[in-house]
Structure 1
């Protein structure tokens, strides 16, 4: 069975988007959550064991911009007009299944990106504004 290059490209973009969105969660949202919960020593231990996280956190604007663009590209590939599955019953069933999984991956990626964005850019200003 031959694989359609556009479906392969869409699957690749979906997985890369999930990976990039997870990177924003790991660099920014989880450390903030851990420090908020009083686990600052755990964050210090992890960043000393994995120093790349510090570099990622220093360049979080680029990380969020890149993953956001990938999320937009993935959404466009997934929901663009004129998408249709093959009329062959077997290929059509496989196509629908792939689209269902791609939508799930895209939804999880968008949620992860949103949580990371909230934690990295909005949580502290909201907390200051509320006076907490």
Structure 2
């Protein structure tokens, strides 16, 4: 496997993990608290805030969290797009690993995008309804 090919695969997978981390922060700030309250589990939310008081800070600064997450998602999307046809090694086993990693990376990215959209819905659109 050429060094550049290995670098592209690692970069793509790393970018998808970063976007997953970034988008999951939007769930913590907005979607999970809104879901708990809408299900009538306000006491569970209060217990969660008592254990993790940082949730309040994250919720108060949701605009910054979403801006940062969206920027990371755009960067991750660019890396995914750029690497979609990157060459894989000629060796059959390495080629299969390369293609599998590319599919997993895309799946993680799409899941992250879904989390960002869900978090955005609960943070910005749902309160307006």
Task: Flag the structure with more relative contact order, 1 or 2, with Cα contacts below 8 A and sequence separation at least 6.
Answer: 2
Identify the residue that residue 101 of structure 1 maps to in structure 2.
104
Paired residue for 1:112, among 115, 120, 129? 115
Residue deviations 1:55-83 (CA, integer Å, cap 9, x gap): 11111111111111111111111112752
Q: How high is the TM-score relative to the length of structure 2?
A: 0.88
Structure 1 residue ranges without an equivalent (≥5): 128-132
CA distance in 2, matches of 1:97, 1:118: 32
- Preserved CA contact (<8 Å) 2:88 2:95: yes
- Give 2:90's match in structure 1, choosing from 84, 87, 90: 87
Please list every run of at least 4 consecutive aligned residues from structure 1 whose deviation after the TM superposition is greater than 6 angstroms.
none
Q: For residues 55 and 100 of structure 1, what CA distance do their matches in structure 2 show?
A: 35
Q: TM-score, normalised by structure 1?
A: 0.86
Matching residue of 1:130: none
1:33 — aligned with what?
A: 35
